[in-house]
Structure 1
Amino acid sequence: MKVLKFGGTSVGSAKNINNVINILENYSKNDSIICTVSAVGGITDKLLLAGKQAQNKDIEYINTCHLIKDIHFEIIDELNSNNGKSIIEQVAIELNALKSLLDGIYLINELSPKTSDKLVSFGELLSSFIIAETMKHRGMPVVCKNSQELIITNSNFTKAEVNYNITNKNIQDYFSSASQKITIIPGFISKSHLGEQTTLGRGGSDFTAAIVAAALKVQQLEIWTDVSGMFTTNPKLVKQAYPIEKISYQEAMELSHFGAKVLYPPTVQPVLSLNIPIHIKNTLEPDAVGTIISNDDTNNTSPVKGISNISNIALLTLQGSGMIGIPGFSKRLFETLSQEKINVILITQASSEHSICLGIDENDAELAKTAIDATFENEIALNKIDPIIVEKDLSIIALVGDNMKNHQGISGKMFSSLGKNNINIRAIAQGASEKNISAVILQSDVKKALNTLHEQFFESKTKQLNVFITGVGNVGEKLVEQIKQQRKYLKENLKINLRVAGLSNSRNMIFNEEGIDLSNWKEQLATGEKATLESFFEGTKSLNLRNSIFVDVTANKDVAGLYAQYLRQSIGVVACNKIACSSDYENYKLLKRLSLKYNVPFLFETNVGAGLPIIDTLGNLIASGDKITSIHAVLSGSLNFVFNNFNDTTKFYDVVKQAAKEGYTEPDPRIDLSGVDVARKILILARESGMDMNLEDISNTPFLSDAGLESDSVDDFYQTLIDDEAHYQKLYASAKAKGCQLKYVAQLNNGKASVSLQEIPSDHPFYNLKGKDNIVMFYTQRYPEQPMIIKGAGAGAEVTASGLFADIIRVGND
């Protein structure tokens, strides 16, 4: 004999009911079958709604009642085509009784727990009757047995307690003489010893099946639902979640208690002592393996078996100095909640005895506060304790696993991974058995928390990075293309799953939490929503994705001004924009402090030398205990390109125009040619060396003509280059006469920095610097005479994009 249970979704439509019938028909070829069914999906909620409407004198209850009738009649018609008349007639009688009950509730303006149980019983009675009668019409050997005649309870309405002695005897006596191959029984419903209709609590259909399975000592209980077993976590929130093949009773109960809706927690109790396995299977995929719950868990190698959560939690805090060392506070607190029939989901108390925190259903919060404040009215008046503090919009997340107690560092991994993603923990609870570690967090952080923990404990060490890029011009476009090209490589070789979740230019922006399709991102962006800097920040923050990185590929001061906001939300910042790191020293230090405080990256390698590892090398020197004595560098690829291509046969204007066209200069070339860009770069290196310095502290000797320095616009500036050609030819002629090359040099010596155009002799390392190359020479205590030299391309869209990409990858490798 086998016991099967089918939930509301499994019997929620004619199509699904046909699947159920096919499964029962196949099973009955070899065994006698007892099948417990829930109400048609959503009907129990509609019954409760109709009852509440009637109680509140809302005439809309009539329409809700009609909707319930229409749903059942439609299912009957689809299942039985033209042969369902007799079924409809009987169902109509039951629905008329339902309407009369609702009319009575409306008239007396009251819905007691006893009446509520009678009301919701209609759901299972109707579904079991419809399924059984349909099977009879198809010639199957089936009987519908009312479980209210078998399961006897006390009179604790809405969640009655089973009298197992009477119930077990009833079940055993009935099935010992039953000759039918298939028995359909309604789940959830029962009767008290006084003959009153009772229910076993929401989810009680599972319980009904377990009661029957235990009474008959069957070999296995099968729970059929709409998912293929118990998953490592909620698959609706975590796409990488997968079914758990085997799990222990204790682990299943913990996961069910903390929100895994596949199984109703009390279900386990009747079968636990008899070691009857529970097999969770999928009605829509009957061949899927599913999950087996038993004590024989040979696959229990992973310390964490699942991650679950309960939503809509309120946290109650009872605190006060008058609690310390005084016995009885906990007793009075819990007695108060018990008297109000308020279930406590989580408890935590500080060892100082100064406070007790309780997690309860949010719907009970106001009732709990009123009751507790009344209980402790005297102590509150004497200022011994504070009025109860209520926090809402919370959720409990829980790690569950029998083997967690044998593995060190589980809680450390849990809390550190949550902390890195700015998920604040309001309370923590862990039992001595160490099978469950629970934490209370904001409801809005649940999806990010579940994904973060699942990645930490269940995925093959693949780290997902969610990138939000603003500025998709020349460099930004190259970065997107590089990401598109290398995504597969990163996932396979570096275990980094890199997704571009947001893109923005000065006009439009797009977001996709599953990752933007990079094959047509330009078309998507062109039709995206209107963009502002604040709206892009709000969009990034509201998605609340783990390991989020904001990438600034602009030279915009306002964008740089938002870095602090991103960092405070635990969103990392990767930037080629030099403005933030060369802004006021206090702002620079603030960004550094925020990066440390919120444990998120703030990386700006491309601020100096584009893709060259200059800042990273400098950081490694400092971190290893070395000290910078001086820095000599050519830090402007654009200026190096200009002076390498400028001579007495070219015009300065033409060379600058060419540099701008090839993307070596900023959109406003005055930033490069005025020396401001180079000054910012040496300032950043000075600061990264540990010096307190601002931009005005750097000596900048300009080489531009006075007219060029005073120009009001880019167009005016270009005109001065034409007009002042003789000025620039004079600079070139002076260097040529001495056998020198013109190089724009940055220097840092004895705590002082300068930038200027210099005539470099042929024996100097800077002399043969070609094209757009940069070079940096670090003189340190360890490199006092022969400097550490870094040299290579220091400008261009490709290398700058690759430098940004390298910073993003560095985040993934941390």
Structure 2
Amino acid sequence: MSSTSFRVMKFGGSSVGSPRRLRQVLELIGLHAKAGPLAVVVSAMGDTTDWLLEAAELATRGELEEALTVVARVAHLAKTNATALHPARGTPLAARVDRLLAPLQQLLQGISLTRECSPASRDKVLAFGEWVSSTLLAELLEASGTPAAFRDARQLLVTDDTFGNARVDVARTREQLQRQSAGWGASVPVIPGFIAATVDGRTTTLGRNGSDYTAALVAQGLGASEVTVWTDVLGLHTADPDLVSDAYPVPHLTHGEGLELAAVGVRMLHPRTMIPLIESGISLRIRNTMHPDHPGTLIDAIGSRDGQRPTCIATREDLALLGIEVRKLSDQFQLGERALAALRASRVTVWMTAQSANGQSLAVVVPRPDVERARAALETELSQELARREVEPLGVRQPVTLLTLVAEAMGQGVNVAGRFFSALGAVGVGVRASAQGASSRSISCVVDAADTAIAVRTTHAAFNLAHQQVSLFLLGKGTVGGQLLAQLRAQQDLLRERHGIALRVVGLADSRHTLFEPAGLSLEGLEERLARVDRGEPGTRTLVPLLDELRRLPVPILVDCTAAGDVAPLYTEAFRRGVHVVAANKLPLALPWAEREALVAEARRNHVAYHYETTVASSLPVIDTLANLVRTGDTVRLITASLSGSVGYICNELMAGVPLSVAVRAARDRGFTESDPREDLSGADVARKALILARELGLPLSLSDVALEPFVPASAQADEPTEAFLRGLRALDGEYAEKVAHCHPSGTTLRYLARIDPSKLGTGTPVIRVGLHAAEVGHPAADLRGSESFVSFTTTRHSDFPLTVRGAGAGGAVTASGVLADILRVSQTLRGR
């Protein structure tokens, strides 16, 4: 194209809907008119088209006064915008608006008399919106120093008489534009969008996105180099910003990508707009009227050369999925062809079809308001086959959403479809049907309407973000929860920059207070902010409604750092909503066997993660190690473990000559024990951990099956305040000093151990034993230091030298780091890169 070729600018209704925006439009046109030939296409102001439709409907019902009131509303908007820009010409401009709208009032009067508004009459009514805005814009440009003239689109665009959605005669339209433009001179032609005329001069409209289509046709007819659509957004975004807060404008797309997006219903594009541009090689740029310095989105024949260019995620909502399944297929059945022909004859729009490879079944996606018409059309077409029961009764699923990925690069890489479906499956979104075009520029699937937000956000994050967003709802801000928040504060930036994971705490709750903010809570002073929240109802049932909000966020994870005993129902509700659970809470895993199995099965059924590594040995990878042994076919013969870092610390202190009462108090002060040390000293905590390990082997055991010897006799654990209990331990100092004295001559070490022997199952001998032992020299437990824990696995493959996991086994910071590791494990699994 030469440097003197036309450029076409189209301004939408929002761009001319207020004085401030209209002033910006005048400045933009004035600036660009100086750079060479320019044509302008303009839509009706603001909501004028909707108002005109309302006026036509009122007149059709005979409510003329109400219809004229609506016309007055249209006039007021036009006068306000025009006179605000040029107060000195306010009276002439207002009079001009009245003259323009006078024929509309007469037209509505005629409609009200006949109580009938034909498609042709409706097109006449709607045309007034663009007619007024373009006429005023031309006069305002002249008044501001930019030569301009109104050019009636009805003398330029030639169509058939399909009123409401007229078909353009492209050849005649090009001829008209070329002939008339020869006499335009240097003034900027201001052309109303959306409207056209038949060969005999009857007014028609071009339907949805009609003004954009007008701009494309004008550009084609004038041989323009580029069309710029000025609107109220910064460009075509990677996803709907209302659904995805991280959506961002796409700088560059190909014509093919634009056409794919138009085909799946992206609001700013339409196939009719794209086709003239593609045929003539004309570029389309989408820009923001109020941010003219932003480059917006360029759509041309070349597209982006960036190998990491973004992928657009388009959604079409309020649809229905109709399924047809054939019981007996013959060569003559032609299911797809017959179904589509029937729907086309019934004027039902089909947004997607998906047919099985053998033609046995067909899925058709249609607008939900048309579902009954579609069903009737298909049942009529297949009536004989339905009567002979050769076809299953039609299935209808509604409402559903059509989710589509569009990117030119999709056909140039592998595993795009795999990443797409894997991302959806990982968050529990069911795919009801799918399709991919031969161009490989796009892939579409149908999801339930309720899953729209989570599907879009998850897919957008998987394909467009340099980081994986993760949404955390944290239960508990005590020792472990508090440390986890501290670690998140310290690690957030590092995790984002080095590992591509953006952890965001969206909720925090303790036993009486809850904070929840989908956009994310500031971590600074979060605990104090929670304490200031009005006290709520106790228990976890009140948290269930928040799970509905959590599930709609990217990678939702419920993180349980409490020791609450009533959380299993909350976990179940989370799983059912596609929310992952990371827990340091042992109690749900120690429920009766059937309840525990039901909980784990619920997570598996909903394809979500349930990670609880820290329930056994703080941050040590014990459960994962055991799972790997079992998965690889090894047989576990014996597990020996010191599973309480707190009791391990107390044992070390005892062996060093520290009295029991002093050692227990020190362990509590260091944060090694529960707030009430009796939970540790009773052995119940170790028994639960041992039970969890045994159940990982598939052993259907319960706590009552554990042969438990408390570390401190049950008789010493009276129901009294914690401080009184700690003072009462002094009475046992001598007894435990004597236990230590017995160890010294033999060189053994006092340890509190769990032993799991699967071979004892069904023999009447306990499979799990927990109690005090004197560990001999060389035993893995003998040289444990401080609060260290260990777990030793004797297996078929590790028989001579048991596989041992050893390390710090207590402390809020250590446990919190294990919880964080489980969170990252979920995140990295879903990231899929």
Instruction: Output the TM-score relative to the length of structure 2.
Output: 0.90
Q: Which moved more, 1:671-680 or 1:779-788?
A: 779-788
Any residues of structure 2 matched to 1:589-604 within 5 Å, and which? 589-604=597-612
What is residue 740 of structure 2 aligned with on the other side?
735
Alpha carbons 1:774, 1:791 under 8 Å: kept? yes
SS state at 2:246 partner? coil
Amino acid at match of 1:156: T
Deviation at 1:233, TM superposition (A): 2.8
Q: Alignment partner for residue 766 of structure 1, among 771, 781, 785?
A: 781
Matched, 1:416 2:415: no
SS state at 1:321 partner? coil
Q: Alignment partner for residue 22 of structure 1, among 11, 27, 41?
A: 27
Matched, 1:807 2:822: yes
What is residue 794 of structure 1 aligned with on the other side?
809
- Per-residue displacement from partner, 1:659-679 (whole Å, max 9, x unpaired)? 445433334433322211101
What is residue 682 of structure 1 aligned with on the other side?
690
What is residue 274 of structure 2 aligned with on the other side?
268
* Whole-Å separation in 2 of the counterparts to 1:714 and 1:639: 21
Q: Alignment partner for residue 94 of structure 1, among 100, 106, 115?
A: 100
Q: Cα 1:317–1:647, aligned 2, differ >3 Å: closer, same or farther?
A: closer
Alpha carbons 1:705, 1:724 under 8 Å: kept? no
Q: Alignment partner for residue 498 of structure 1, among 481, 503, 508?
A: 503
* Whole-Å separation in 2 of the counterparts to 1:668 and 1:47: 73
* Whole-Å separation in 1 of the counterparts to 2:45 and 2:25: 13
Any residues of structure 2 matched to 1:224-239 within 5 Å, and which? 224-239=230-245
What is residue 516 of structure 1 aligned with on the other side?
521
Any residues of structure 2 matched to 1:527-546 within 5 Å, and which? 527-528=532-533, 530=536, 532-543=539-550, 544-546=552-554
Alpha carbons 2:655, 2:750 under 8 Å: kept? no
* Whole-Å separation in 2 of the counterparts to 1:226 and 1:721: 69
* Whole-Å separation in 2 of the counterparts to 1:422 and 1:102: 54
What is residue 142 of structure 1 aligned with on the other side?
148
Identify unmatched segments of 5+ residues in structure 2. 1-5, 761-766
- Per-residue displacement from partner, 1:547-598 (whole Å, max 9, x unpaired)? 2211111111211343233233332211111112222333444444444444
What is residue 86 of structure 2 aligned with on the other side?
80
Q: Alignment partner for residue 568 of structure 1, among 570, 573, 576?
A: 576
Q: Cα 1:610–1:727, aligned 2, differ >3 Å: closer, same or farther?
A: same
Amino acid at match of 1:573: V
Q: Which moved more, 1:598-607 or 1:643-652?
A: 643-652
* Whole-Å separation in 2 of the counterparts to 1:54 and 1:663: 78
What is residue 795 of structure 2 aligned with on the other side?
780
* Whole-Å separation in 1 of the counterparts to 2:331 and 2:256: 35
What is residue 42 of structure 2 aligned with on the other side?
37
- Per-residue displacement from partner, 1:678-728 (whole Å, max 9, x unpaired)? 01111222233454433222211235445345x4x452x765665575455
* Whole-Å separation in 1 of the counterparts to 2:788 and 2:202: 89
Any residues of structure 2 matched to 1:410-489 within 5 Å, and which? 410-460=416-466, 462-489=467-494
* Whole-Å separation in 2 of the counterparts to 1:789 and 1:268: 66
* Whole-Å separation in 1 of the counterparts to 2:120 and 2:328: 42
* Whole-Å separation in 2 of the counterparts to 1:621 and 1:334: 54
SS state at 1:608 partner? helix
Deviation at 1:82, TM superposition (A): 3.4
Matched, 1:605 2:610: no
- Per-residue displacement from partner, 1:433-467 (whole Å, max 9, x unpaired)? 3232111112232332222222222333x222211
What is residue 128 of structure 1 aligned with on the other side?
134
What is residue 614 of structure 1 aligned with on the other side?
622
What is residue 638 of structure 2 aligned with on the other side?
630
Q: Alignment partner for residue 560 of structure 2, among 543, 547, 552?
A: 552
Matched, 1:70 2:76: yes
* Whole-Å separation in 2 of the counterparts to 1:56 and 1:374: 35
Amino acid at match of 2:586: K
Deviation at 1:153, TM superposition (A): 0.8
Q: Alignment partner for residue 579 of structure 1, among 581, 587, 597?
A: 587
Deviation at 1:372, TM superposition (A): 3.9
Q: Cα 1:53–1:696, aligned 2, differ >3 Å: closer, same or farther?
A: farther
SS state at 2:549 partner? helix
Amino acid at match of 1:541: D
Alpha carbons 1:309, 1:397 under 8 Å: kept? yes
Alpha carbons 1:325, 1:353 under 8 Å: kept? no
Alpha carbons 1:247, 1:305 under 8 Å: kept? no
Alpha carbons 1:304, 1:402 under 8 Å: kept? no
- Per-residue displacement from partner, 1:782-810 (whole Å, max 9, x unpaired)? 44344444333322211111111111122
Amino acid at match of 2:648: N
Alpha carbons 2:665, 2:726 under 8 Å: kept? no
Alpha carbons 1:168, 1:215 under 8 Å: kept? yes
Alpha carbons 2:40, 2:190 under 8 Å: kept? yes
Amino acid at match of 2:547: T
Deviation at 1:475, TM superposition (A): 1.4
- Per-residue displacement from partner, 1:617-660 (whole Å, max 9, x unpaired)? 33344445544332222211222344444699977556545544
Amino acid at match of 2:80: E
Matched, 1:152 2:158: yes
Q: Which moved more, 1:654-663 or 1:801-810?
A: 654-663
Any residues of structure 2 matched to 1:109-124 within 5 Å, and which? 109-124=115-130
* Whole-Å separation in 1 of the counterparts to 2:241 and 2:594: 45
* Whole-Å separation in 1 of the counterparts to 2:302 and 2:387: 56
* Whole-Å separation in 2 of the counterparts to 1:298 and 1:634: 59
* Whole-Å separation in 2 of the counterparts to 1:301 and 1:770: 53
Q: Cα 1:581–1:277, aligned 2, differ >3 Å: closer, same or farther?
A: same
Amino acid at match of 1:687: R
Q: Cα 1:48–1:509, aligned 2, differ >3 Å: closer, same or farther?
A: farther
What is residue 261 of structure 2 aligned with on the other side?
255
Q: Cα 1:775–1:382, aligned 2, differ >3 Å: closer, same or farther?
A: closer
Q: Cα 1:599–1:202, aligned 2, differ >3 Å: closer, same or farther?
A: same
Q: Cα 1:300–1:200, aligned 2, differ >3 Å: closer, same or farther?
A: farther
SS state at 1:10 partner? helix
Deviation at 1:414, TM superposition (A): 1.1
Instruction: Output the TM-score relative to the length of structure 1.
Output: 0.92
Q: Cα 1:724–1:18, aligned 2, differ >3 Å: closer, same or farther?
A: closer
Alpha carbons 1:668, 1:714 under 8 Å: kept? no
SS state at 1:482 partner? helix
Any residues of structure 2 matched to 1:243-322 within 5 Å, and which? 243-297=249-303, 299=305, 301=307, 305-321=311-327
Alpha carbons 1:606, 1:612 under 8 Å: kept? yes
* Whole-Å separation in 2 of the counterparts to 1:298 and 1:650: 72
Alpha carbons 1:648, 1:729 under 8 Å: kept? no
Q: Cα 1:512–1:64, aligned 2, differ >3 Å: closer, same or farther?
A: farther
SS state at 1:41 partner? coil
Q: Cα 1:82–1:387, aligned 2, differ >3 Å: closer, same or farther?
A: farther
SS state at 1:562 partner? helix
Alpha carbons 2:311, 2:463 under 8 Å: kept? no
Q: Which moved more, 1:318-327 or 1:246-255?
A: 318-327
What is residue 369 of structure 2 aligned with on the other side?
363
Deviation at 1:130, TM superposition (A): 1.8
Deviation at 1:77, TM superposition (A): 2.6
What is residue 663 of structure 1 aligned with on the other side?
671
Amino acid at match of 2:682: S
- Per-residue displacement from partner, 1:753-778 (whole Å, max 9, x unpaired)? 20012344566553454443323333
Identify unmatched segments of 5+ residues in structure 1. none
What is residue 764 of structure 2 aligned with on the other side?
none
Deviation at 1:68, TM superposition (A): 2.9
What is residue 3 of structure 2 aligned with on the other side?
none
Matched, 1:525 2:527: no
* Whole-Å separation in 2 of the counterparts to 1:321 and 1:386: 7
